[in-house]
């Protein structure tokens, strides 16, 4: 049972990592979620809280690595860019 839960958790995290940054195209009011994610990275020293929980629960992360929590710069910049575009779209168009 724990294996199934782990696979579901890891799959959702993996899919979210690639789809959430561009979700504003279909859901323009998602900027609040972007803000929560960005602030969580900022206050947690660029570490992903979800990955930390994964490691705590399953003793591994969705990337099959041990004890890696830092969000890569590339992924942070993609979310920052999409957050700014989303804000411009929602408030100025």
At residue 79, the 3 state secondary structure works out as: helix
Number of structural domains in the chain? 1
Contact 10, 66 (CB under 8 A): no
CA atoms within 13 A on the CB side of 45: 3
Q: What is the pLDDT along the chain (93 residues), one digit of tens a residue?
A: 889 999 999 999 999 999 999 999 999 999 999 999 999 999 999 999 999 999 999 988 888 777 678 999 999 999 999 999 999 999 998
Give the range of the structural domain holding residue 23, as residue numbers without chain letter.
2-92
Say whether pTM exceeds 0.85: yes
Contact 66, 60 (CB under 8 A): yes
């Amino acid at each position: 049972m724990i294996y199934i839960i782990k696979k579901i958790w890891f799959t959702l995290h993996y899919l979210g990592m690639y789809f959430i940054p561009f979700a504003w195209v279909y859901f323009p009011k998602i900027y609040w979620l972007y803000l929560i994610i960005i602030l969580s990275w900022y206050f947690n020293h660029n570490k992903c809280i979800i990955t930390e929980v994964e490691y705590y629960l399953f003793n591994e992360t969705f990337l099959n690595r041990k004890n890696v929590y830092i969000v890569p710069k590339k992924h942070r910049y993609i979310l920052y860019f999409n957050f700014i575009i989303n804000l411009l779209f929602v408030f100025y168009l």
